[in-house]
Amino acid sequence: MEEIRRTVAPSRLFYLLLIAIWVMILALVTAVLFIMFPPSEYTLTESYVEEETHRPAEYWRYLRYQDKLEECQPYMATLAEGEYEAVFLAMYSLESFDKEDFQNYRGVAMLKIEPVPDNSLELLGVLEQLLSCDELPEQIYLGIDPIKMEQHLAWEEELDWQSTIAALIREHEEISWEVLLAYPSLAEWQLLAETEREQGIAGYRRAMETLTPLENLTLFYIGSQEWLVCNQDNYTEDSTLNVSVTHTMMLSVFCDQNYIVTEDNQEELLEELEETLDIWLQNPPYVKVRAGDTLVFLGDSIFGNYTDSTSVPGVAAYFTGANCINCGYGGICLATGDWNIAGIDVIANLCNGQTGDIPEGKAAYSGIQDFAQGGEVNGRLVFLINYGINDYLWGNPIELEDKYAVNSYTGAMRTGIEQLQMFFPDAEIVVLSPSYITYWDCGIQIVGENGGILKEYVEAAIEVAQEYGLPYMNIYEDLETCAETEDILLADGVHLNERGRFRLGMLICEKLDDIIQ
């Protein structure tokens, strides 16, 4: 027994020694922390930030704030050289904004401040730094993210960032301010807890209420638009808008002055945002995934004028996952006439795998190449044919005695359908009627001696589809219904805007589920 006690005793001493060492280490760590985070008072920014902070999280945030100011210092030095009339500072990435667009379309040399302020402290600090420069810009483009601005630390709870920014803007009435509120994607909203979403929407409301009355400021908000936020292909992997959509937004917002927030429409915009989030987060539209399928879009400018993620094929590609090939060609009729290229020519070229006389740069040119080089289609091959608006506008005859006369609308339609059936016997063909327009009294004016009203072309397209036993979509009727409650057309009354293209893309996705299993 004595021998056993001698064996155990050193073991206990070892553990006591180990505990003592740990106590000494903890004491040392405590001392270091006390030195690093002394309970002293300091001011993070002289004008806008509360004092009396010593918590580690606040200290590190202060260090990040200082780093952000240092990152921005070279931009301030560049601005001081006096070569720029405008500055763009935003709480979201400006990578996809092209400063040449501002030079070409707004006539201003614009300096992008690349470092992104991540919170109210950083934004206010960089703004104060910017406005203290000797050479002030004539115009400031400012991107505010109310969700980030609402994410306070405990000591910031009383920080009224809206009033602070408003005060800065009032102090510099000689500067023209254009503020674009952030436009998070649906996926980003989805990552937030319900309380965080409510807090974020409340932040947008406070920003709008505070900033809209300012006389030297124009406020824009595009983030409630379903066509933008619900199509994730509009965004890159890091939640930045892709280059093409950014260019479109820049022209629409800063040039055409669309999406302006006023005291009268701000509640409507926020209700639109809440409604979009409720629908898409709680009960999103069902669209069948068609990965492996190929959808070929044959048509005029309704398909062909846009080739990015906001185009009709682009919308269908995102929601179905199918390989969507855009063979649209803006301005062409389906029927032949006194023009070099007609829709029937595009169909013939597609069947032969040749671009023919189609100019490079047209969607149909690259679309035919993509289709020809794509090899064998593993899934379903679906052709969607949508012509007729230009046939109406040019007064092309709807039907001639020769039912295959390619200088008539229905003759060209029959010829095109039979060509596709001969070259691709296993493919599905879906006929889409001409789209809805408001031009020429909603298409009731008749052009020339041989033309008809637009609805006659709509009926003719459906009749040809029925003649061949093909599925069809009356998109004229569907878009006419949409137009009763929404602005879906451009000012020309013919072409679809972003909202209209999104609506048509979703209509095609949903109706394909009904007609093609």
By three-state DSSP, how is residue 443 classified? helix
* Tokens, residue 61: 């945030």
Quote the CA–CA distance of 478 and 459 in Å, as a whole number.
14
**Span 370-427, pLDDT tens digits:** 999 987 788 999 999 999 999 999 999 999 999 999 999 999 999 999 999 999 999 9
Give the residue from 261, 257, 317, 262 showing the smallest Cα distance to 290. 317
Quote the CA–CA distance of 496 and 248 in Å, as a whole number.
14
Please, which pLDDT band fits residue 54 given cuts at 50, 70 and 90? very low
Quote the CA–CA distance of 482 and 270 in Å, as a whole number.
21
Return the CA Rg of the chain: 31
449's CB contacts (< 8 A; 6+ apart) are: 395
The whole-number average pLDDT for the span 169-184 is 96
Share above pLDDT 90 across residues of the chain, in percent, rounded to a whole number: 80
Please, which pLDDT band fits residue 516 given cuts at 50, 70 and 90? confident
Please, which pLDDT band fits residue 37 given cuts at 50, 70 and 90? very low
* Tokens, residue 63: 């260090």
The whole-number average pLDDT for the span 181-188 is 97
Which amino acid would we find at residue 447? V
Quote the CA–CA distance of 376 and 383 in Å, as a whole number.
15
φ/ψ of residue 111, rounded to 5: -100, 120
320's CB contacts (< 8 A; 6+ apart) are: 287, 288, 289, 290, 293, 295, 509, 512
* Beta-sheet strand order (sheet of 428-432): 323-328, 294-299, 381-386, 428-432, 472-473
Please, which pLDDT band fits residue 323 given cuts at 50, 70 and 90? very high
Name which residue leads in pLDDT, 276 or 54.
Answer: 276
**What is the bridge-based pairing of β-strands 217-220 and 176-181?**
parallel
Which amino acid would we find at residue 18? L
Name which residue leads in pLDDT, 19 or 372.
Answer: 372
Give the residue from 337, 461, 442 showing the smallest Cα distance to 387. 461
Query: What residue ranges define each of the domains in the chain, with the CATH number in brackets?
Result: 56-282 (3.40.50.1110), 294-515 (3.40.50.1110)
**Span 348-381, pLDDT tens digits:** 999 999 999 999 999 999 999 999 998 778 899 9
